[in-house]
Amino acid sequence: MVKKQSSMIWDMKTMLHCSIVMFFLGGLATLSFYRNNNLESLTSNVKIVTITTTTIATKSNTETDTTTNTNTNTNQGTQVFDHQRKLKIAPPSLTETCDLFSGRWVHDNKSHYPLYKDNECPFLHGDLACQTYGRKDSKYQQWRWQPHGCDFPRFNGKEVVERLKGKRLLFVGDSVNRNQWDSMMCMLYSIIPGEKKLGTSLNSTLYTFRANDYNISVDYYWAPMLVESNGDDPSNHRLDHRTIRVKSIEKHAMHWVDADILVFNTYLWWRLPIIKLLKGPGSLLGGPNQVYDEIDNVHAYKMVMETWSEWVHSNIDPAKTKMFFMGLTATHSNAKDWGGKKQETCYKEKEPVMVDGFWESGTDPKMLRVLESSLSKLKAKGVDVKLMNITQLTQYRKDAHPTVHRKLWRPLTDDKKNNPQRASDCTHWCLPGVPDVWNELLLAYIFPDIETASQ
């Protein structure tokens, strides 16, 4: 009986010990199970955070809202990854990946040049209509600008017209910018259906080309030095000196603020070595009692670019208005630059200069550096004015100026009649011609997603 009880007690002890051991082993298994699951969950969470961070980093390129991704349940990691894979990041535009202003001129008589004929553009100024005024050769109209390693959209008139609906495109500056405005006007004239009108206002400082059916306005404002100057009269400004009010821009600029696209330039009027800066509000431009300081042209140019930059920064919203500044353009008045004879100019030139990097003596690189610096400082303040750096591509085109083949607004002197070299305009450009290419490049920046018209 005692043995039986003792056996029962032993069995109970054994069962208790076994239960304790089993409980302990079960606890270890449970702990191990939860530990492994937590590690997997932690690993999953790390993956999701990494994916979400990547998604946020790409927002600036895709403009995709990533708020949903950030708040996604951690158990949906695979779905987040799939969504990330489906994001379409817009490729950089052509103007961001290619230097459109570094290249060469290629003769191409099978391309779409010329884009129009001067006698079919009724609003074209006569001093640019070279064929109408006697120029016989036409090869200068057939050169294509070819950037190194890439290309840009050639003029697609119908597409441009659709994009310009309801917009005002305004060119502001000197007569070379008027030259470019003439080009743009003629490029669009035959493309835009319906009635088109050309008008002037503000004592002929403002020219307006308007297509009423499309509500398109392509305008030009005469302001050769941007600020107030003694050249502000568009029909009477042949002067042997330059006088400016270096801080006075509002008189002109008040007519620019409502433009959707602004295209500036100023250079030709800064080539005289000395500029006069008016002192005091009582001193009249061109008046007999002017009080002024004299300063070198580069320093004066820099001061005016500062005035212009301050106005742009204070008055133009870059989110609403696209802005561009045209680079300096060549003036081929010295044939010695390309191996010609002394006293000769661009008169009778029929071929471009084919020497890579050619630079004519009339273009001051210091002015270009001032312009580049001014636009760089503006960009640092959040205002991006694109430089259309056409300077080098114009250097080669000694063949593309009106010379004597233009409407003469003043009779030539006997000396100039006998010496057409001296009577030649080697500053402006025949139309159709080189400015048409400037406008194609400009349009590539204004509408970077535009497609090339089928040839």
Supply the residues annotated as catalytic.
Answer: 175, 425, 428
Residue 145 three-state SS:
strand
Alpha helix stretches (DSSP H) within 207-256? 250-253
CA distance 271 to 127: 22
Question: Could you tell me which of 334, 376, 331 has the C-alpha nearest to residue 179?
Answer: 331
Q: Count other C-beta atoms under 10 Å from residue 248's C-beta.
A: 16
Element (H, E) at 65: none
271: its two tokens: 């080539």
- E strand map for 188-306: 196-201, 206-211, 216-222, 242-244, 261-264, 274-278, 292-296
Letter string b/e over residues 178-216, b meaning 16 or more CB atoms within 10 A of that residue's CB:
bbbbbbbbbbbbebbeeebeeeeeeeebbbbbbbeebeb
CA distance 92 to 96: 6
Residue holding tokens 């081929």? 332
Question: Could you tell me which of 199, 154, 162, 207 has the C-alpha nearest to residue 180?
Answer: 207
107: its two tokens: 């003769």
Q: Count other C-beta atoms under 10 Å from residue 117's C-beta.
A: 16
